[in-house]
Amino acid sequence: MKIVLRIVLAAALVALGVWLWTVLFPSPEKVIRRRLIELAHTASVSISDGDLVRLAAARRLASFFSTNVEVNLELSGLPHQNIMDRDQITQAALIAHTRTVKFPDISVTVAPGKQSATADLTVEAEISGEQGLVVQEMKFTLRKIDGEWLIVRVDTVRTLSRGRQIYPRHFKLCTVAGSFHS
């Protein structure tokens, strides 16, 4: 009985050690995932918020991107937009009316050297004054710069290729009820 107890205790200790290790030294994938969720949270600013709050959020949002970031946006019903630096992101964030932004599906692939990674994700956003949700598949390319994972490139993925661009409120989408995203 004593041996069994010791084995159980040892197993529990090993499990605790492994858990602590993953908490203290998270994998790049986990770090990137957490960072992207934080990005979505930062991008969720209501138009009713004060100018200072919006400016702070826009600056914070820009800090997720590298200085020479390239963003290729082909959003519904809008002309193709190409953002080439961080200041433009701040400007774009200031005029965007996103109430909530979520990334319900994030799939991260870290390159062998663990210095760069790509994240395929679905953007789900609520826009002030619009009914329904904006849904768009995007691809983020990240690079580890000065120990921090920064977004260096954003591309729009056209799920239905050559399909007409539309206003998001008319998107037909469905949510897997088994894993509701709040």
- Residues of this chain that interact with another protein (CB under 8 A) are 76-77, 104-107, 120-122, 124, 132-133, 135, 137-138, 157-167, 169-179, 181
Residue 25 DSSP one-character state: S
CB within 8 Å of 147: residues ≥ 6 apart = none
Asked whether the beta carbons of 84 and 102 are under 8 A apart, the reply is: no
Cβ proximity to another protein, 124 vs 144, nearer residue: 124
Cβ proximity to another protein, 50 vs 178, nearer residue: 178
Cβ proximity to another protein, 76 vs 100, nearer residue: 76
Asked whether the beta carbons of 167 and 77 are under 8 A apart, the reply is: yes
Min CB(84)–another protein separation in Å = 25
Min CB(87)–another protein separation in Å = 28
Buried (b) or exposed (e) across 40-53, using 16+ Cβ within 10 A? Answer: bebbebeeeeeeee
Secondary structure of residue 101 in the 3-state scheme? strand
**CA 117/CA 108 separation, integer angstroms:** 7
Residue tagged 């998001």 (tokens): 168
Cβ proximity to another protein, 81 vs 109, nearer residue: 109
Min CB(34)–another protein separation in Å = 17
Min CB(167)–another protein separation in Å = 5
Cβ proximity to another protein, 56 vs 73, nearer residue: 73
**CA 143/CA 119 separation, integer angstroms:** 11
Min CB(80)–another protein separation in Å = 15
**CA 119/CA 43 separation, integer angstroms:** 17
